[in-house]
Homo-oligomer: A and B are copies of this chain.
Amino acid sequence: MSDTFDIVIIGAGPVGLTLAAAIRRTGPYTIKIIDTKPDPTLCGRASGVQGRTLDFLENMGLKSHIMACEPGKVFEVAFWNPSEDGEGIRRTSNAYSYPDFIDTRYHHSTIIHQGHIERILLEDIAKSSIKVDRPCTFSDFRMVDDNAYPVQVDLKSPEGNTTVRAKYLFGADGARSLVREKLGIPMQLKDPVTFVWSVIDGVVKTDFPDIGIKCTIHSKSGSSMIIPEGRNRTRIYVQLQRTTDPNEELWSKYKQEDTQKLANKIFSPYKIEWEEVDWWSMYPIGQRLAEHYTDRHRVFIGGDACHTHSPKAGQGMNYGMFDAQNFAWKFHQLQNGFAAPSLLDTYEQERRKAANQLLDFDIRYARLFSSRPEAEKEKSKGEETEFMKLHRTAASFTSGYEVNYGTNGLNWSQPAGVVNSKAFDPTGVKLVPGRTFPTCSVTRVIDAHPCELDLEVPFNGAWRIYIFAGDVAATGSAMADLESRLAAPASFLRKHAKDTTLTWENRHGPQSSCFTFSLVYCNKRSAVELNDVARGFFAPYRFHIYADDISASGERGVPGRIYEKMGFDKVKGGVAIVRPDNFVACCLSLEDGAVTADAINEYFQNVGSTVS
């Protein structure tokens, strides 16, 4: 009898490690994670963490660890183009990384190299005694006749070959994924043109004034990009050549010095001198997308195994981490019997759709980026080039907040064939099923702390049911009806609720590891009496009762900002069912508390029987 695991993860890069870190937060699952390399990444490679990704990492409690590394923060981008007189370069404009219209807490992308991210995640999973087996290589898998652990996985390590069994196998084994190969999934080449880029991380001495912000430089001598990495370190990308031959040998052709010389030509008249070099690399850029993400049963792939593209928009690690997050909570809901197995069908459906959007964007971005400046009509100072326009309109996309899974079996908008259909999509509500639940500052009633509603429940694999309970003076009877109907023996959620005592430790999921409630009143904090509202079915949610009373300018005691932002009625309220990954699932009215309770139960009953 071989060892058994709930999941075996191939690859301990950011994606595999995020998956392990996410799953360990949802329950005491057995996780095996392996990597071919004997050591973790130490420097270089992926480095961009976008706003929505930082939210997720913060929701996992990891943001302070990231900030402790003093990462780079990119608040602005400068666009440099050839000087009008043809000599050298000039700055033609500036833009904010995240323009004001983007709904984010942090107006910067975060630059932290993969070595730090891996270390932080390794330290995190070690808290659940999860250790990466390395060096250890995946060689093959097969399905066997075992209801509990149907995936047999062959592994090779210096100690010899082993076979383990798993409920699920996840390939986070990079662009040349062997798991993908064994699944027989082909990669689609989205664009035959390949650009060859070189990258150097290090400490530079320069008179170039914008070395501290992100820059894109188009000069007569070629294209370059600057990424500030924090602690006085800088990443510089330089485009070496354009090719359509993906197998062209590069490493004999270029050396580090070539990159440095070319950079100085591009930056002329400014000079760049490297005082230290941490890392140097070179790679062709091609856009590829896996045709499937799964065998539709037990074996899945994510991250670079599914999608590869240019690093220019700083997206790779981010999309991979969200693949992991998406899979993790669905895996948990299934293991717990709260959701039907078909829930996992939505993994490929949602994540491949997002990757496809990314690749389409990336093709346009990379082509424009790599285009010779003479290819684009020269613009006078201040006028927007195609590239700048794309940068600006793409910001909500690159920041990660624009991802839209659309409606599907999980994300309900005007659902058909539903008994309580009239309770869904109340008039005026601006939340969009399939899109991110917005950031919102509220005041916690129990201790008067201002806090961020979307981060209040840590990522734990549980659904977040937000009861926007309106005006405390008006919704008493609706809330009483809602509460008693949810507590009734026939209630789907009641059946899945444990009878545990509320403690400080279990406050985020006192009734279940699969769902949790929060109550948000449209009142000044001190108008909400804790002992009056934390009653009956809602009594265990004493630590998750909030007042929407912080104005846009930060003034306290002014109700209504979040209600307005989300479009809920300030008196009557409403309900938002939000997925464990902070995407909106559906919105409900709260006019008749009993109907609302039935609609909530109907939604989850559907998740529990079939997600179609």
Per the bound structure, the CA–CA distance linking A213 and B449 in Å amounts to: 9
For the complex, is A76 an interface residue (Cβ under 8 Å from B)? yes
Across the interface, do B504 and A232 meet the contact criterion of CB distance under 8 Å? yes
Stretch in contact with the other chain, from A4-12, A365-373, A549-557: A549-557
Per the bound structure, the CA–CA distance linking A67 and B231 in Å amounts to: 22
For the complex, is A73 an interface residue (Cβ under 8 Å from B)? yes
For the complex, is A257 an interface residue (Cβ under 8 Å from B)? no
Across the interface, do A531 and B75 meet the contact criterion of CB distance under 8 Å? no
Most chain B beta-carbon neighbours within 10 Å: one of A107, A450, A526: A526
For the complex, is A400 an interface residue (Cβ under 8 Å from B)? no
Query: Considering the complex, which residues of chain A in the window 172-218 have a beta carbon less than 8 Å from any beta carbon of chain B?
Result: 203, 207, 209, 212-213
Which one of B64, B450, B530 lies within 8 Å of A64 (CB-CB)?
B64
Across the interface, do A213 and B529 meet the contact criterion of CB distance under 8 Å? no
Across the interface, do A529 and B209 meet the contact criterion of CB distance under 8 Å? yes
State the Cβ distance, A565 to closest chain B Cβ, in Å. 15
For the complex, is A249 an interface residue (Cβ under 8 Å from B)? no
Across the interface, do B448 and A75 meet the contact criterion of CB distance under 8 Å? yes
Across the interface, do A75 and B450 meet the contact criterion of CB distance under 8 Å? yes
For the complex, is A537 an interface residue (Cβ under 8 Å from B)? no
Tier of interface size on chain A: 35 or more
Most chain B beta-carbon neighbours within 10 Å: one of A67, A107, A448, A504: A448
For the complex, is A161 an interface residue (Cβ under 8 Å from B)? no
Chain B residues, Cβ within 8 Å of A530:
209
Across the interface, do A75 and B212 meet the contact criterion of CB distance under 8 Å? no
| In the complex, per-residue mask of A527-555: 1 if CB is within 8 Å of any chain B CB, else 0 | 00111000000000000000000001111
State the Cβ distance, A117 to closest chain B Cβ, in Å. 19
Per the bound structure, the CA–CA distance linking A555 and B67 in Å amounts to: 24
- Residue of B whose beta carbon sits closest to that of A232: B504
Which one of B212, B446, B525 lies within 8 Å of A447 (CB-CB)?
B212
- Residue of B whose beta carbon sits closest to that of A97: B448
Q: A64-B64, A68-B64 are in contact. Are A531 and B448 (CB under 8 A)?
A: no
Across the interface, do A531 and B447 meet the contact criterion of CB distance under 8 Å? no
Across the interface, do B100 and A555 meet the contact criterion of CB distance under 8 Å? yes
- Residue of B whose beta carbon sits closest to that of A214: B448
Chain B residues, Cβ within 8 Å of A447:
73, 75, 212-213, 228
For the complex, is A387 an interface residue (Cβ under 8 Å from B)? no
Per the bound structure, the CA–CA distance linking A203 and B94 in Å amounts to: 53
Per the bound structure, the CA–CA distance linking A96 and B526 in Å amounts to: 11
Per the bound structure, the CA–CA distance linking A603 and B370 in Å amounts to: 56
Which one of B231, B450, B553 lies within 8 Å of A552 (CB-CB)?
B553
| In the complex, per-residue mask of A243-267: 1 if CB is within 8 Å of any chain B CB, else 0 | 0000000000000000000000000
Interface residues of chain A: helix, strand, loop or mixed (majority): loop
- Residue of B whose beta carbon sits closest to that of A76: B448
- Residue of B whose beta carbon sits closest to that of A543: B212
Q: A96-B556, A232-B504 are in contact. Are A76 and B526 (CB under 8 A)?
A: yes
Which one of B107, B231, B446 lies within 8 Å of A212 (CB-CB)?
B446
Across the interface, do A73 and B212 meet the contact criterion of CB distance under 8 Å? no
Chain B residues, Cβ within 8 Å of A446:
212
- Residue of B whose beta carbon sits closest to that of A555: B100
Across the interface, do B448 and A212 meet the contact criterion of CB distance under 8 Å? yes
Across the interface, do A525 and B555 meet the contact criterion of CB distance under 8 Å? no
Query: Considering the complex, which residues of chain A in the window 491-536 have a beta carbon less than 8 Å from any beta carbon of chain B?
Result: 504, 525-526, 529-531
State the Cβ distance, A212 to closest chain B Cβ, in Å. 3
Chain B residues, Cβ within 8 Å of A231:
504
Across the interface, do B209 and A75 meet the contact criterion of CB distance under 8 Å? no
Chain B residues, Cβ within 8 Å of A232:
504
Across the interface, do A94 and B526 meet the contact criterion of CB distance under 8 Å? yes
Chain B residues, Cβ within 8 Å of A525:
76
Chain B residues, Cβ within 8 Å of A448:
75-76, 212-213
Which one of B73, B76, B209, B553 lies within 8 Å of A553 (CB-CB)?
B553
Per the bound structure, the CA–CA distance linking A76 and B448 in Å amounts to: 6
State the Cβ distance, A103 to closest chain B Cβ, in Å. 13
Per the bound structure, the CA–CA distance linking A231 and B184 in Å amounts to: 51
Per the bound structure, the CA–CA distance linking A504 and B206 in Å amounts to: 13
Chain B residues, Cβ within 8 Å of A96:
556
Per the bound structure, the CA–CA distance linking A228 and B543 in Å amounts to: 14
Across the interface, do A449 and B504 meet the contact criterion of CB distance under 8 Å? no
State the Cβ distance, A245 to closest chain B Cβ, in Å. 39
Per the bound structure, the CA–CA distance linking A105 and B274 in Å amounts to: 39
- 12 sample A-B contacts, Cβ–Cβ < 8 Å, listed by A number: A64-B67, A73-B449, A75-B450, A96-B556, A100-B555, A100-B556, A107-B450, A209-B531, A212-B447, A213-B448, A228-B447, A232-B504
Query: Knowing that A207-B531, A231-B504, A553-B553 are A-B contacts, what are 10 other residue pairs whose CB atoms are under 8 Å apart, sorted by A's residue number?
Result: A64-B67, A73-B449, A75-B449, A78-B526, A100-B556, A107-B450, A107-B556, A209-B530, A212-B446, A213-B447
Query: Closest 9 CB pairs between A and B?
Result: A212-B447, A232-B504, A76-B448, A75-B448, A209-B530, A94-B526, A212-B446, A553-B553, A213-B448
